[in-house]
């Protein structure tokens, strides 16, 4: 297998290649003065098994087009098996039309990736895993929650508890897995979001955090409101320190400011999103999954 690093995930692709002892495919990218993207493989990829690595963090739309162009080029030039590793799979909220007339963006993206010739898709902590059931190709949703918990545990925690900031099944599962990884307890808060205004309310459910270190584990920090609500409630209930570990630290607008205001101890993301909070790598998680991939 050879690894192709998309413009969003060059370092991550390099780490994956190193762990797999696989070569990187030399490639060239640039943007024309009008903003259009250019991609070129600098070696023959025909007959090769390729792993294209490209996360789709904001701005999602140009990053998506980069992925489409890389995938199209690989298929067009005769690559054999093409795996995609898209840690942050943008547009993964809608598995159905919640309101009449809504677009099904996640379905469209899946259809395009399949039409362009992807054989297998790997992603990390997808926001809504039901989205993957719309794909015809094999898909794998990996989780970074265990690695995030391990990062905090290595710092030396006092009687830790992992807390999910909302009560969705998938969110509680992530918190449970993170807790199991470090031998801690877990709990969850209850959150509701208004489908029209996007306003978030987190209920002040009692959590056993008094004098304990808490780790809030979530898939995404976008505006930071969900995580900030959780940190505020846990601090108010007597938590010693509250850490936030998140697979995709988008941290839009004043998200960091909001979290600092409520007294977060540390915000940790993964290299799914390249920023200063990317302290945990998703490379080992993918490599383990590739080694366990069922044969076709
Ligand atoms: C929501 O269901 C997700 O799991 C995240 O909690 C959410 O996307 C975070 O968004 P924000 O940072 O804007 O509250």
Ligand 1 mean position, distance from CA 193 (Å): 9
pLDDT band at 226 (very low <50, low <70, confident <90, very high): very high
- Atom 4 in ligand 1: residue holding the nearest Cα: 219
Q: Which CATH class is domain 145-271?
A: alpha beta
Residue 196 is predicted with a pLDDT of 76
By annotation, the residues acting in catalysis are: 191
The pTM of the full predicted model, rounded to 2 decimals, is 0.95
pLDDT in tens, 117-131: 999 999 999 999 899
Would you give the end-to-end CA distance of the chain in angstroms?
15
Query: What would the pLDDT profile of 67-124 be if each residue is shown by its tens digit?
Result: 999 999 999 999 999 999 999 999 998 888 988 999 999 999 999 999 999 999 999 9
For residue 198, which atom of ligand 1 is closest to its CA? 13
Whether the pLDDT of residue 176 is over 90: the answer is yes
Rounded CA separation 266/277 (Å): 9
Q: What local confidence, expressed as pLDDT, does residue 266 receive?
A: 98
Q: Which helix (H) or strand (E) holds 83?
A: strand 82-86
Q: How far is the CA of 220 from the centre of ligand 1 (A)?
A: 5
Query: Tokens in use for 129?
Result: 């895993």
Please, where in the chain does CATH 3.40.50.2020 lie? 2-143+282-292, 145-271
**Which residue from 221, 255, 269 has its CB within 8 A of the most atoms of ligand 1, so it is best to mutate?**
221
Q: Taking the alpha carbons of 104, 108, 114, 119 in that order, is the dihedral positive or negative?
A: negative
Q: What is the pLDDT of residues 1-43, one digit of tens each?
A: 999 999 999 999 999 999 999 999 999 999 999 999 999 999 9
Query: For the chain, what is the mean pLDDT?
Result: 96
| % pLDDT > 70, the chain | 100
Position 194 pLDDT exceeds 90? no
Query: How many whole angstroms from 226 Cα to the centroid of ligand 1?
Result: 6
Residue 185's pLDDT is what?
97
pLDDT of 243: 98
pLDDT of 296 over the 80 cut: no
State how far the Cα of 142 lies from the Cα of 210, in Å rounded to an integer: 32
CATH architecture of 2-143+282-292: 3-Layer(aba) Sandwich (3.40)
> Across-strand partners of 135?
none
Determine the pLDDT at residue 295.
83
What is the C-alpha to C-alpha distance for residues 140 and 257, in angstroms, rounded to an integer? 34
User: Residue 184 corresponds to which tokens in the numbers above?
Assistant: 């801690």
- 87 preceded by a cis bond (ω within 30 of 0): no
Mean per-residue pLDDT, 247-256: 98
Burial class (CB within 10 angstroms; exposed 0-12, middle 13-18, buried 19+) of 200: middle
Q: Which atom of ligand 1 is nearest to the CA of 225?
A: 14
Residue 159: its pLDDT value, please? 96
Best probe residue, ligand 1, of 220, 224, 248 (max atoms within 8 Å of C-beta): 220
CA of 155 to the centre of ligand 1 (A): 26
Residue nearest to atom 10 of ligand 1 (CA): 222
Pocket residues for ligand 1 (CB within 6 Å)?
A: 165-166, 171, 200, 218-227
Per-residue pLDDT reduced to its tens digit, 256-281:
999 999 999 999 999 999 999 999 99
């Amino acid at each position: 297998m050879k690894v192709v690093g998309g413009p969003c995930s060059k370092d991550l692709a390099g780490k994956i290649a190193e762990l797999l002892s696989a070569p990187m495919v030399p490639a060239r990218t640039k943007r024309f003065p009008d903003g259009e993207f250019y991609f070129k493989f600098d070696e023959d990829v025909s007959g090769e098994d390729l792993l294209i690595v490209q996360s789709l963090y904001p701005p999602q739309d140009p990053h998506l087009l980069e992925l489409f162009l890389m995938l199209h080029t690989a298929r067009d030039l005769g690559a054999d098996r093409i795996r995609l590793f898209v840690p942050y799979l943008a547009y993964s909220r809608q598995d159905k039309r919640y309101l009449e007339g809504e677009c099904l963006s996640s379905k469209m993206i899946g259809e395009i990736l399949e039409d362009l010739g992807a054989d297998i898709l790997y992603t990390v902590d997808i926001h809504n895993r039901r989205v993957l059931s719309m794909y015809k190709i094999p898909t794998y949703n990996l989780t970074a929650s265990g690695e995030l918990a391990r990062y905090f545990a290595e710092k030396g925690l006092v009687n830790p508890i992992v807390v999910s900031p909302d009560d969705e099944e998938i969110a509680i599962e992530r918190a449970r897995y993170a807790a199991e990884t470090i031998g801690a307890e877990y709990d969850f808060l209850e959150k509701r979001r208004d489908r029209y205004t996007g306003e978030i309310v987190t209920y002040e459910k009692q959590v056993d955090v008094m004098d304990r270190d808490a780790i809030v584990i979530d898939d995404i920090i976008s505006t930071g409101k969900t995580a900030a609500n959780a940190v505020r409630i846990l601090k108010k209930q007597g938590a010693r320190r509250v850490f936030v570990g998140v697979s995709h630290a988008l941290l839009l607008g004043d998200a960091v400011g909001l979290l600092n205001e409520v007294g977060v101890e540390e915000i940790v993301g993964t290299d799914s999103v390249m920023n200063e909070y990317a302290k945990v790598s998703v490379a080992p998680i993918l490599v383990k999954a590739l080694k366990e991939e069922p044969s076709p």
